[in-house]
Structure 1
């Protein structure tokens, strides 16, 4: 799987890209990204599309916020995976998406970071298959 993320550093973008098939190394990588305490979107996919404007099928995970995260399935019928037991934050939260600060609505941020990491690792273990059905 290809894993990409980037931070806006003012005068440049700090862009990262790695390939991994090892769930343990992937788990460790996601935890390191989260522990930076800088909300960022991590994109995980298997095969790039031929169109550079389209995201390849996969997932995006929002990490780096202390209490809230997200995971969104990038498929034709994809959507945000949420936990009904996790209350939405009071306001939207900005995550760095490809080096561009992007605000995500509070209702899509109903996952704890630990759960989002576990779901992303399960996605990798499943070879790029969704780990739970996205919400309707």
Structure 2
């Protein structure tokens, strides 16, 4: 897999590991033949796949945000096929109402609640957010 695609996809794959997510099988075969593009396939548990890609040579955060939209689309389809809530990544403030959205803040990709317009976690750190939240809940 192209190193830029691998680096930009890694935080999203980490976020798919949270309980509301679904883990893909990554197939690093290129499918995009545009100059300066790096691509791979994400396969659902049922074997269906969707291609994702990034434009190489772009800033890392821009690549992560571009992939966030594509991975979100893949996750919604994969979760729907599993008859699970397709609201990924799930908003901790509004469970099962809407997913978080990817935005840039301070040159970093973050997940934001679109209703409250508040940062929930850095892209790649959803699991850390859930651990912190559970830890804080136990201390009150």
TM-score calculated relative to the size of structure 2: 0.27
**Structure with the largest fraction of strand:** 1
**Structure with the largest fraction of helix:** 2
Query: Which structure has the greater CA radius of gyration?
Result: 2
TM-score calculated relative to the size of structure 1: 0.28
